[in-house]
Each structure stands twice: as C-alpha cells, then as structure tokens.
Amino acid sequence: MIPANLTSTWVNHLWQSTIVVGVAWLLALALRRNQARVRYWVWMAASVKFLLPFALLIGAGEWLRSLMATPVAATPEVAAVMEQIAQPFPQAQPLDLAGQAVAAHRVEVLPLLLLAIWACGALIVVARWAWGWLRMRAAMHAASPLDLAAEVPVLATSALLEPGIFGIFRPVLLLPEGILHRLTPSQLDAIIAHEMCHVRRRDNLTFAAHMIVEALFWFFPPAWWIGARLIEERERACDEAVLQAGGKAEVYAEGILNVCKMYVESPLECAAGVSGSDLKKRIVRIMAEQVTRKLTLGRKVLLGVAGVLAVVVPLALGLTTAAQRSAQSDDAGNLHKFEVASIRPNHSGAVVGHTGAAGLGGAPMDRYIDTNITIKQLICWAFAGKGLPIPSDQVSGGPGWINSERYDINAKLDDSQVAALAKLSPTDRIVQIRLMVRLLLADRFGLVVKNTTATRPVYALVIAKGGSKLQETVPGSLSPIKDEGHPIQARFFPGDIRGHGIPISYLARSLSQLGGLGRPVLDETGLKGKYDIDLKWTADLPGMIPGPSSSAETAPPVTSGPSIFTAIQEQLGLKLKSTKGPVENLVIVHIEKPSEN
C-alpha cells in the first residue's frame, strides 16, 4: 500500500525546492555582471536541493536538540510559522499510520495510477539519454587517435558531431574528421581551449547529477528550466576563460560559428561541447569582450548568508518543532495509551449518551467513560480538537453499525498520566484525552481516516441588516448567565446555547452540531472578539451527547420558541445565509468491530 502521506510529502518537497529555485533566480539576477562560473554554482545548488529534502535537515535539527544539555526554548508561534512556511501542505493523520497494517490490503487506484505515470515518464527520459549515450559511445569506439596537445586523449570520429568531451571519470575529446582542414590553427586552438575548460570544471559530472534530477522530476518545469540555465552558464564560463587566457575574440567567435555551421550538437547534455545556450547572444558577448566583475565583499556576504540560511533554517525548524513537541510531552506526562480499556455493547435502547473524562463531566480523574455512545459520535468527539464534536454530516464512510450500535467504554489512566493531566487546563486536558481516544480507536477498532475538502451547500453566519446585538465579554468578569443560580462558562444543547467568552467561530461550530440544519455553518461575520451568548430556539433533535466540559450531563431539547433562523436574527443580530463553501470532511477508510472485554 502506498503511504497515505506520500502525496503531501512530495508536494511539500516540491514547494521547498521551488522556493530555493526562486532564491537562486534572485541571486543570479544580482550577480548578472559577475563571472558566469559563480552563477553556474548557484543554479547547481538549486538543482542539488531537489535531491536533498529539507526533511533531512529538519530531522538533523531534532537530533541535535536531543544531544543538548540545555535545550533551546521553544516558542510555539515561531515554530508554527516556520512549519507553515516550510511545510504548508498537511501530512496525513497520525492515526493513518497506527492503522496502516489493518488497511494494508486496501489498494487505492489513483496513487498507483500516478505512480505508474511517473515511472513511465522517468523511463522515457532515461531511455532518451541512454540512446544518446550509446551513440556517443559508438562514435568513440570507432574513432582514431589524433596527435594534438590536450589535457585528455583526442580522438577523430567520422560522425558529424561537434567537438565535445565524452566521459565523466576518464574523459576524451572527440573531434570530427576533417575539422583540421575546416578551421584555422588559431580557431582550433580556441575550440580545444574551450573544451579543456569543460574538463577542468568537471561539467560532465555536475550536469550528470542534474540529469538525475530531471529524470526524477520530469513532470516539474523548474527542473528543466534549471538545466537550461546550467548549460547557458557553463558555456559562458568557458567563453570567459578562453578570452581571459588571451584568446582573440574574433578568432574564437568565427571558430564557434564554423563548428555550428558544419556539425550537429551532441545528443547528450552531459557531453559538453561548443554549442549550447543562445548562440547569437554568445557571439555578441564574445565580440563585445564584456569585462566580468570579481565578487565584491558585499556579494560574497550575500552568497554566504544564502548558503547558511539554506542549512540553518531547516535545522532551526527541527530544533523548534522538536522543542515544542518535547514541551508538550513534558506537560502532558508522555500521554499515549490508556492503561486499560473496557469496551462493551450497550443494548439499553436509550437515545441519549454521555461522555466524561479526567475529572470532567462527572468522571473520576483517572477515568475516561463513554455511556451508550455510537462509534460515529465517538469519532466526531475524538477528532474535534478543542471545540465541540465534529458535525456528523462531516464524517463519511464506514459501515452502518457505526451509527446504529452503541457501546459503553471505560478506560483507566495510570498515575503518571493523571498527574500530568492535573497540571493542564480543562480545555487542554480534553485535547489530550481526545488524542488518547484516537489511539484507542486505532488499536481496538482498526480505525483509519483521512481528511478531504469539498465544496458543498453550507450556511454562512453573517451580520444581519440591523447590526450585531452581541455583547463582548469583559475580561475577568463572571458569567452573567445562570444555571440554577450558579454562573457557568458554557452550555451547549439542542435549542439552548449559552456561553461566556465564546468566539463566533465556536458558535458556528455549535450551530453546525446542534442546530439541526443539515448543513455546516461557516463563520463569515468578521467578528474576532469573544462574546456572551444566550440563544434559545425550538429544537427537533433528541438529546445530544454533551462533552465533558458541559455543565450538565444531559438535557432535553427545547421544544418551544422561535425557529433557529428567527432566534439567531432576533437574539444575536446575526443571520444564516444559504450558500456554498469549502467544508473539511473526515473520511473513514477502515474500521472493524472490536472484541468484547
């Protein structure tokens, strides 16, 4: 089975490589009046980035942090920003990995199809290069030695190929037969000097490395664009070397033109020849004898800073994210799995269930308890993060029994987990318990999920014409809402939503879950503050399963009052507008019934 996070890994790698290509282009632009060999190595560094994922350096940063006696302090905001820039495309849920063995028998057609297309493209690219290499090799074997002064053996071939260097570790200079009669001695010397420059620069070796990049990333245009820049700059670099060594511009330019008129270009990019790049521009530059500038101190510093950042940024990302995860792990007391968990079917026939955990919702501090809950409700609760459960219509897939069969779950936490949870706020405590429930679902139910986004009918929560009637919460104040005479923070039930210091995004999630609307509700009010909410309407739903942060264990739905649409407008000054929008969905890839215990 293809790993579920393979796509996001590749996309993140391409994103990072594209950023490096953009930086290389800016550097090349800044160095356009400097020597071509400098720009060549800038582009070569961008090429090598395709073969060296930042993930390796991020992993190195995490490893370095593990060796530090005094770990770096992690700033969550900085770590989050750095991770968003370096890896903007989210990985698959960790739960996918936990259930990977269960889902190993499932074969997804699309990833296999994409893999087959990539393999075919890579084979075509390699086959084209192999054909060119075979032609050059045949020409070399049929060639005869020439007695010319050069740094490598010189061979004369009957093929109408331009002069070129063939071979990477034992290169030879191939000259077409009769070239001694078609070029003047001065022109031939200039052409040979050009080819010897390719030998000294190891151009065949470096471009062969880039050919690997082109074969692996044949579908990605920047990889081929870098190849064109490398050919352009290597030829310019050799042109500059010939002229700086004392070659006459007119003689050299005429020699190149004569070669291009009489012979064909090498069929292999890593067999460096005389042609390449834009011939007209090359001749103009040669004849103009443009003087290239040496790198100034400022430009050397610019290149040095760019190189250091390319290494330091992913290392720093590894250090900060590892520190953040370590801090979270320290605060959470290494929360992973429940010490023991009992799962039994509930055949009571009741329609109301309850969830409590770690001292919340009536549960003991060392317990996570579900009573009369369906597995779909449990999934909606476990993947909700800090908010209300995910609306059930945003969870798809799975067999029918996840909606119809109900279970009682009683899980015990060990002493270290209880001590760690006691240090957390109620909200953070629920987040950690939810993570543990995800692992329980993966372990006992073989749950495998994936996230998708789709455009579908939704309700947009907007400000009504008369304006908002919401009262912003005063920091530090007690809740003005009373439940049997006692101030409460929040109460969420069908037909009754009350809360103190509630963000509007949280209200929208509550309406999606409890409003009986049949559609998700998206917050489009633009309101960023926290508000005191008191909203009542007629609910047609049976009692829901309140989370452990609720003030009451169960509550009947409100059966009298205005409709939800009227209540929202009259009581809050907001409005539900029917529209379409992007909705995140949780897809159940695999799940199976647990064994009783």
For residues 580 and 455, the answer to whether their CB atoms sit within 8 Å is yes
- 257 and 320 housed in the same domain: no
Establish if 595 belongs to a structural domain. Answer: no
pLDDT, position 40: 93
Q: Is the pLDDT of residue 293 over 80?
A: no
300 pLDDT higher than 60: yes
CA distance 113 to 67: 43
- The answer to whether residues 127 and 163 belong to one domain is yes
pLDDT tens for each residue of 443-464: 888 888 888 888 888 888 898 8
Collect all residues with Cβ–Cβ distance below 8 Å to 215 and sequence separation of at least 6: 122, 125, 126, 129
Of 133-147, 448-462, 482-496, which gets the smallest average pLDDT? 482-496
Please say whether the beta carbons of 515 and 521 come within 8 A: yes
Are 272 and 316 within one domain?
A: no
Domain count, the chain: 3
Question: Average per-residue pLDDT in the chain?
Answer: 77
pLDDT exceeds cutoff 70 at 107: no
User: Greater confidence, 542 or 7?
Assistant: 7
Which two structure tokens, joined as six digits, stand for 211?
């050919």
Is position 201 within any domain? yes
Give the model confidence (pLDDT) of 502-519 as tens digits.
888 888 877 877 767 778
277 pLDDT more than 70:
no
Q: Which residues pair with 498 in a beta bridge?
A: 491, 534
Three-state SS annotation for 77-111: HHHHHHHHHHCCCCCCCHHHHHCCCHHHHCCCHHH
Q: Can you say how many angstroms the Cα of residue 35 is from the centroid of all Cα atoms in its chain?
A: 36
Q: Which two tokens stand for residue 411?
A: 């899980």
Amino acid present at 118: W
Residue with more model confidence, 344 or 318: 344
Report helix, strand or coil for 350: coil
Q: Pick the more confident residue, 131 or 333.
A: 131
Does 307 reside within a domain? yes
Alpha-carbon span 279 to 425, nearest angstrom: 70
pTM of the complete model: 0.52
- In this structure, of 244-253, 275-284, 539-548, 559-568, the range with the lowest mean pLDDT score is 539-548
The answer to whether position 451 is within a domain reads yes
Same domain, 58 and 177: no
Which of the four pLDDT bands, split at 50, 70 and 90, describes residue 225?
very high
Selected residue with higher pLDDT from 356 and 364: 364
CA distance 168 to 268: 12
Name the pairing type of β-strands 172-176 and 164-166: antiparallel
Residue among 31, 16, 29, 25 nearest 43 (CA)? 25
Residue 597 in any domain: the answer is no
Tell me if 596 is assigned to some domain. Answer: no
Q: Which two tokens stand for residue 71?
A: 């770990």
**147 shares a domain with 242:** yes
Same domain (yes/no): 220, 232: yes
Question: Chain centroid to CA 130: how far?
Answer: 34
Asked if residues 551 and 488 have their Cβ atoms less than 8 Å apart, the reply is yes
pLDDT of 102 strictly over 50: no
pLDDT, tens digit, 9 for 90 and up, residues 154-180: 998 888 788 888 888 899 998 988 888
Residue 484 lies in a domain: yes
Residue 174 sits in the same domain as residue 228: yes
* DSSP category for residue 596: P
For the chain, give the longest Cα–Cα distance. Answer: 108
**CA separation for the pair 287, 239 (Å, rounded):** 11
Query: 25 and 161 share a domain?
Result: no
Q: Count other C-beta atoms under 10 Å from residue 359's C-beta.
A: 17
Domain encompassing residue 25: 1-107+295-332
Domain match, 269 and 308 both: no
Q: What is the pLDDT of residue 3?
A: 46
* Residue where one domain finishes, among candidates 332, 356, 387: 332
Which residue type, as a one-letter code, is found at position 387?
G
Q: What are the angstrom distances between the C-alpha of 245 and each of 197, 255, 335?
A: 11, 16, 69
User: What is the mean predicted confidence (pLDDT) over 99-123?
Assistant: 69
DSSP codes joined into one string, 116-131: HHHHHHHHHHHHHHHH
Residue 119: the pLDDT is 93
Helices (H), ranges, 475-567: 504-514, 564-567
pLDDT for residue 387 is more than 70: no
Nearest to 217 by CA among 302, 126, 289, 348: 126
DSSP 313-325: HHHHHHHHHHHHH
Whether residues 6 and 102 fall in one domain: yes
For residues 424 and 525, membership in a common domain is answered with: yes
Task: Tell me, yes or no, whether 522 lies in a domain.
Answer: yes
Which helix (H) or strand (E) segment holds residue 94: the answer is: helix 94-98
Do 101 and 118 lie in a common domain?
no
What is the radius of gyration, based on Cα positions, of the chain?
A: 34
